[in-house]
Amino acid sequence: MSESLAADIAACRACADRFARTATAHAPRPVIRLSATARLLIAGQAPGARVHASGLPFDDASGDRLRDWLGLDRAAFYDASRVAIAPMAFCFPGYDARGADLPPPPLCAQLWRGRVMAAMPQVALVVLVGAHAQRWHLGAAAKRTLTETVSSWRAYLPAALPTPHPSWRNTAWLKRNPWFEAELAPQLRARVAALVR
């Protein structure tokens, strides 16, 4: 793992002007966990406000739900030797004037995604959390909607597994799609257990 890559990412201010114009008017704070040994990569969309404040990825209720899906406790999840975490945008994108989350700026993936993935060739499984990660990683193999992509999860094994975002906002989605908890989640836990020992 290149220490210079981690330092370059930590110093990135490419979106500073964009973030200054949001309702939150915040400064960039990249949150990422690179690893030279982890065989599991969590590819989310972008840190939220709480993660921006703490600097710890998935340090919120969404993280609790994601860890349950993965079958990992906090200690294993935050062990960078076993789990890498690289969202599609490394910084909190901010809120719009109505208080809604802004999407991850595409510039982050354009600048960094290729380098990040090239720096972790040992990764055997990428958990694609949300549509932004699914579109980038799956390319033309991604389906028209998140539901179609996640329901086609078997087609992406063994290298990737798509999931919805674990946000409370997706609780209704989980209720409408019980196959996720019944079929996909057990396979996800089994794959993770085999990789994160």
Output the pLDDT for position 2: 67
Task: Taking residues 51-68, report their average pLDDT.
Answer: 95
Output the pLDDT for position 98: 86
Task: Report the percent of the chain where pLDDT is more than 70.
Answer: 99
The answer to whether the pTM exceeds 0.85 is: yes
Q: Which residue would you say has higher pLDDT here, 190 or 169?
A: 190
Q: Computed over its alpha carbons, how large is the radius of gyration of the chain?
A: 16
Name the nearest CA neighbour of 19 among 102, 140, 116, 119: 102
Tell me which H or E stretch contains 187. Answer: helix 185-195
Name the nearest CA neighbour of 41 among 7, 80, 73, 69: 80
Output the pLDDT for position 191: 97
Task: Taking residues 135-159, report their average pLDDT.
Answer: 98
Output the pLDDT for position 101: 87
CATH class of 3-195: alpha beta
Please write the tens of the pLDDT for every residue from 60-105: 999 999 999 999 999 999 999 999 999 999 999 999 888 888 999 9
Output the pLDDT for position 97: 84
Name the nearest CA neighbour of 47 among 8, 102, 122: 102
pLDDT confidence tier of residue 3, bands split at 50, 70 and 90: confident
Please write the tens of the pLDDT for every residue from 179-195: 999 999 999 999 999 99
Separation between Cα atoms, residue 44 and residue 58, nearest integer Å? 9
Cβ–Cβ under 8 Å, residues 29 and 49: no
Per DSSP (E only), the strands in the chain are 40-43, 83-85, 125-129, 160-163
- What mean pLDDT is reported for the chain? 95
Cβ–Cβ under 8 Å, residues 150 and 160: no
Task: Taking residues 133-148, report their average pLDDT.
Answer: 98
